[in-house]
Structure 1
């Protein structure tokens, strides 16, 4: 077999294994934990992502899933943090922890959630709405506490090449070696195999309508965006500056929960944005 054919065979084998895993392994709403990591540094898009996620968590299909959220899971990137405690309280109630201010405490709290799920034969699905440095710390803490896990029990989903570049080299390599690491296409673009959740022309102000189920979340998300977008050297998110939507990190959630027919921002809100009863 020539070198070219061997290379093609290896590529095919890799793709086949990935696709087989993706097809066969689904999020189990009865057993699995959805771990939501948000860096909140320095882009305000996480605020939009959390508000959009609120719609999913309030839907009939997903309102009983087991989840836990973590703020401040940033890596090595420069820039200032985007405080969003009130938004986290609105959307997640007490089901979140603040790794920005209380790193060690947050690791311990998250480890307890992970251990409970693993002990009940569940899997951990991690959305990296940011970098993987915090995930490395979690994995190391699991070992430190003698909590055993296999690669197929912890699945990490990442959509952003920029996020990978802003993860320390050692942390990214460690996470890739110790988990099932899945890289999907960027959620900022449409027609690439994942939804495109970045649209400068979709007005998010309309989402503050009090007749809608996530009006409180969107009102707070918009307030955070107005206060911090591009301020004091933070990243200036142009879509949000123009009054539009950017919840690109949510594509990891739609991938994990196998949510379909949400290819665009408009599609997403048509599916999930409901009026209060």
Structure 2
């Protein structure tokens, strides 16, 4: 009888271990299923911040970011965009409210027109996310001034939040860093999880290269009915403002090409860093 009881106990013990192991695998699968790259769709917030001053590359980037967000893989991504997130650079802003509306609906704030209101809107979204246990992922297609203002507000309103581990900033451009208010750049480097990744204007450096003078590639996004309008508007705005009234003269855009180099930051966050170039981007995200 004792031997029989011992055998039953051993069987039950191994059974319990098996159930626990199976549950662990299930939990891991459930957890990983909500991840896209580094981003947890179950709780995180993605902020796409654009300076649009004075280079029109941000205009193409807006279309590219929105194209990624419309892909089925991004259906559960919680996001918000910010226009006019610029620093101390000289030159004129490139207005594109119609493109922001087409790209992001009502999920964007206009810091160029009303910085305080935009900051208030973004801080509210960040607070909600952090309180629910989510992290903040910021693609800085511009300078760090707006990010610094937001993080400062979070430190004051949610002092128990460790911004160094919960707020992540990704920047690809040294020019953007040099055009930020120095104190603001130093602030975000100190108080956030800050990443400087290789520049997205060239291939072969560790990130995709999303700048090309090949005008024939425009046919690809313009052939995709789900995003064609975005790219048509972006193309028109880019051509209208490129190099005009002292704005930066983007050589790729000037010859009819594309430049959405800032999009490498989003690719890095969401695990698409293995894309090589503009054509490769369209291979993944455009359906002709």
Alignment partner of 2:194: what SS? strand
> 1:74-113 counterparts in 2 under 5 A?
74-113=86-125
Deviation at residue 159 of structure 1 after TM alignment? 0.3
In 2, are the aligned partners of 1:202 and 1:265 still within 8 Å (CA)?
no
Q: Is the 8 A contact 2:215 2:255 kept in 1?
A: no
Alignment of 1:159-198 (within 5 A): 159-198=172-211
What is aligned with 1:264?
Answer: 277
Paired residues of 2:215 and 2:257 also in contact (CA < 8 A): yes
User: How many residues get paired?
Assistant: 251
- Correspondence 1:48 to 2:48: no
Report what 2:265 is aligned to.
Answer: 252
Partners of 1:136 and 1:242 lie apart in 2 by: 36
Deviation, 1:203, is 3.1
Q: Structure 2: any 5+ residue segments left out of the alignment?
A: 1-36
Structure with greater Cα Rg: 2
* Structure 1 position 53, deviation (Å): 1.4
1:90-118 superposed Cα distances (whole Å, 9 cap, x missing partner): 01000000000110000110011101110
Question: 1:65 maps to what in 2?
Answer: 77
The answer to whether 1:274 aligns with 2:262 is no
Q: Which runs of 5+ in 1 are unaligned?
A: 1-24
User: Please, which of 148, 152, 159 is the counterpart of residue 136 of structure 1?
Assistant: 148
Q: What residue in structure 2 maps to residue 153 of structure 1?
A: 166
In the superposition, the TM-score normalised over structure 2's length comes to 0.84
Residue 217 of structure 1 corresponds to which residue in structure 2? 230
Q: What SS does the aligned partner of 1:221 have?
A: helix
**2: CA distance between counterparts of 1:182 and 1:199?**
25
2:74 alignment partner, SS class: coil
Query: RMSD of aligned C-alpha atoms?
Result: 1.4
